[in-house]
Amino acid sequence: MQKTGAQILVESLLAEGVDTIFGYPGGVVLPIYDVLYDADIRHILTRHEQGAAHAADGYARASGKPGVCLATSGPGATNLVTGIANAYMDSVPMVAITGQVPTSLLGKDSFQEADITGITLPITKHNFIVKDVNDVARTVREAFYIATSGRPGPVLIDMPKDVSVGMAEYTDPGPVQLPGYKINNEPDPEQVARAVRAIEESERPVIYAGGGVVSGGAHGELLELAEMLLMPVATTLMGLGGFPGNHPLSVGMLGMHGSKYANYAINECDLLIGVGVRFDDRVTSKLEEFAPGAVIMHIDIDPAEIGKNVGVDIPLVGDVRLTLRKIIERLRPRLASQWRDKIGVWKKEHPFEFVENGRIKPQEVIQEIFNVTKGNARITTEVGQHQMWAAQYYTFTRPRTFMSSGGLGTMGFGFPAAIGVQVACPDETVIDIAGDGSIQMNIQELATAVHYNLPVKIAIMNNGFLGMVRQWQELFYNRRYSYTELDNPDFVKLAEAYGAVGIRVSKKSEVRPALEEAMASAKPVVLDFPIEREENVYPMVPPGEPIHKMLG
């Protein structure tokens, strides 16, 4: 029986286990939307294509399944670009489907034509333009395989309209055969042996764990390794939740706004074990003084990351979970550790702290969010000061409970991502910790949350500034606040206009009751917290300084 390309596309998505698509319709994708009308796939109509991409991203991070977004050609497709780039930087599995003008009109500056495969080539693992209806099913199978295998990432499928309406037989394409795409899951046995020797010989080891631990499902192995050797564990922003933040061996986040004790530990360790990390500049800061006395071991599924930023003494290319398991099987437990005791002293001497002055402090708000939710919420953030306060003051104990834009630093990410998280986890509390600048970039998605009865909570740290930029202006530009002060709307009235609940908190004593009221509501809730206007995020490593030299 022959079917249209649109029918084959939707059947192929069902075959891949897709249950949700986030999208926005338009002319050239009407054939696809017509099929979706009767399909056993939930479609979430966002109010902007960027919201669809970020929602698919949040869905993927929370569920571990690839997120799917759909947009029309031209501006619809280009509106996905920021979300695709965000997923690429943070290694999130996503399949973005875009409509395209008919193949006969390609390259002719046709109405709503954009070379989306050319535009997204640097920010996707791979992308396809399907020019033959007979290739649709195979392309979908390959796209999902590429997006989810090895180091995850986004893949784009561009569908010209004539392919969507063209006819072909639908047959299952079978197993993927990609001769040029090889995944090396098994680490080299000799390098594993070297790793074991280095660990057993070390006196001051530190594990530096990143997002690869979470996406690779290696949190159990990481915990086992740390406890076996009494090794402290520092995590990146993307790695939060990959190791229990309340564990005695946790030293929290490292890097520019990490804990002092994590950064001190990195500076004095003799073995640094990087697990699913990129050694990015926000962690390493001054490269030549990063972990200066350490043997550096790096475990990663992507060989391109090994040695890219920091010289590596022991490279281990392979699946993170499998590699850790092979190391654990050859190690003997360590019964005592003076190094752990030293770090314990640092933790007591240099805790995260702030000055109370009777006004609402963002750090206290984050702590109360943790207390009210008992640490069981799924947290997303926008990007800025509030993002760092969330990382510092909310203790993440489980993987896939913290979703934030790490590599790209995308303002406007958190709220649509929270919608995706809520769709993936309908019975859980989902909170977007936001800034008053970031939230306004995709605040139109309140309409989406209200329409689909998604009870996402938004906690706005409202200081009337683009806070992180203002902090840099204060510290490094003589307090010349050039275009960073905001004239904000009434967020409570805005929430109510969309049909959500709005709550303004005017004083410290109202913080907890307001949070409890929000958590009890079955509706989306916007909480407006007018915080100390010039509160800064500390500790902070100034640009160009090594990570053990911090302000605050």
Is the CB of residue 285 less than 8 Å from the CB of residue 263?
Answer: no
Is the CB of residue 492 less than 8 Å from the CB of residue 502?
Answer: yes
Q: Is 161 a catalytic residue?
A: yes
- Catalytic residue (choose from 11, 94, 100, 161): 161
The three-state secondary structure class of 534 is coil
Reported as type and span, the H/E element at residue 324 is: helix 320-328
Q: Is 49 a catalytic residue?
A: yes
How many Cβ atoms are within 10 Å of 286's Cβ, its own excluded?
16
- Catalytic residue (choose from 89, 441, 468, 550): 468
Of 92, 8, 99, residue with least CA distance to 55: 92
Q: Residue 417 corresponds to which amino acid? A: A
The three-state secondary structure class of 61 is helix
Reported as type and span, the H/E element at residue 432 is: strand 430-435
Q: Half-sphere exposure (CA, 13 Å, Cβ side) for 285?
A: 23
Binning the chain into helix, strand and coil, the percentages to the nearest 5 are 40, 20, 40
Q: To which residue do tokens 């099913």 refer?
A: 137
Q: To which residue do tokens 């409570």 refer?
A: 492
- Catalytic residue (choose from 11, 16, 49, 368): 49
Q: How far is CA 449 from the centre of its chain?
A: 20
Q: Where are the alpha helices (DSSP H) in 253-316?
A: 260-268, 281-284
Give the β-pairing of 2-4 and 167-169: antiparallel
Residues 6+ apart with CB under 8 A from 499: 446, 447, 450, 523
Reported as type and span, the H/E element at residue 196 is: helix 189-201
Residues with a catalytic annotation lie at 49, 111-112, 161, 468
